[in-house]
Amino acid sequence: MAAVTVTARDAAGHTASATVPYTVTGGLRLPGADPGAGNLWVGESRQGGDPSDRENYCGHKVGVFRSYVTAGTIATANATIATAQRDKGKGRYPLCSTKVPGTWQQVADGVNDGWLFFLLDGLGALNWPVGLCLHHEPYDNQGAGNTPASYRAMHKRAKDYVDGKPGNKVAITPILQSSPFSPSVGGNADVTPWFAVDSCHCIGLDGYNHKSFNPANGSQWRTPQQVFEVVPMVLPIGRPVVIAETNVRTDPAQPGRASGWMHDAVTYLKSLGGVYAVSFFDSGTNVNDGGSSWQFDADGPERLDAFKDLILTQSAFL
């Protein structure tokens, strides 16, 4: 039995901590495609949708590749299936995100079963482990038909379908942004209504060290323990965790600081026991915090070289 310390902050800014036990076996490992307790698949999402150039630089494949489509149609379902098939051919773990055709509640109610089951059957036919999220980072998209309960129910419908198909290796993986739930940046929302054991195979979280140096965006430098402080909050739910997006920026005044952060992040996540993958966001697109690019080599080779070292020395592989 392991334990983690969970810190929460209420609306008035008061904090409280508690030690929460959880088990590192059973539900906290990924059935059929697991790197093993204490190990991680390390990888990335790559601007342009293909990590081949980074793999050539590293001299090795990545452990996980994160991909996205921005609509829920048969065409985008085919694109997701094709990307996963490509990643299978390269020996990567595909971690895929798609938007959905209607509200989360409509998907949960079966209104879009034709699209959903087409996607799940297509991914399942690959006979390869695949992670799938239906609408990542949903917190800011709440509204009528889009609630935590409907988000959970939408993923449960997908999970129930997959579980009814023996041999299907798709892992339903809802993915939330961390900041609304993260006390070190003022988050005080409750993360637990978004996930349940019966609604997902895995839990996904995005979390960044948002400090930027050129230009300055006002954010503070945070340790990996702070950036990923939501992970201990969700481990007791009883599902393994994937870090679906993360990154850090290079500090021009302190060479090696970003590299050290990347290595420390992987070490910390391994120590938690229930985390099976971490994907770095290696892109200059969708930089929405007023800071500089997340692309590894946008400001020199430090982050790219750190990523190479992590791939070569810290990553597990399928």
Average pLDDT over residues 75-92: 98
Average pLDDT over the chain, rounded to an integer = 92
Q: Are 23 and 7 in contact (CB under 8 A)?
A: no
- What is the tally of structural domains in the chain? 1
DSSP annotation of 131 reads E
28: in domain: no
How high is the pLDDT of residue 215? 85
8: in domain: no
How high is the pLDDT of residue 1? 44
User: Confidence band (pLDDT; 50, 70, 90) for 241?
Assistant: very high
User: Confidence band (pLDDT; 50, 70, 90) for 112?
Assistant: very high
236: in domain: yes
Greater confidence (129 vs 3) lies with: 129
pLDDT digits (tens, 9 = 90+) for 13-53: 444 454 444 444 445 888 778 898 889 999 999 999 999 99
Structure tokens at 3: 């334990």
- Flag whether pLDDT at 109 surpasses 90: yes
> Can you state the angle between helices 257-272 and 302-313, rounded to 10 degrees?
30
CATH of the domain at 303: 3.20.20.80
How high is the pLDDT of residue 27? 58
Domain carrying residue 128:
35-313
Report the distance separating Cα 215 and Cα 130, nearest Å. 37
Q: Are strands 64-69 and 93-98 parallel, antiparallel or unpaired?
A: parallel
Q: Is-cis flag, bond preceding 101, omega within 30?
A: no
User: Confidence band (pLDDT; 50, 70, 90) for 140?
Assistant: very high
How high is the pLDDT of residue 197? 95
169: in domain: yes
30: in domain: no
pLDDT digits (tens, 9 = 90+) for 199-217: 999 999 999 999 999 888 8
How high is the pLDDT of residue 18? 47
207: in domain: yes
Please name the helix (run of DSSP H) or strand (run of DSSP E) that holds residue 46, with its range, or none.
strand 41-46
The pTM score is 0.92
2: in domain: no
Q: Are strands 41-46 and 15-22 parallel, antiparallel or unpaired?
A: unpaired
Greater confidence (32 vs 86) lies with: 86
278: in domain: yes
How high is the pLDDT of residue 30? 82
Report the distance separating Cα 69 and Cα 37, nearest Å. 31
pLDDT digits (tens, 9 = 90+) for 261-271: 999 999 999 99
Q: Are 130 and 169 in contact (CB under 8 A)?
A: yes
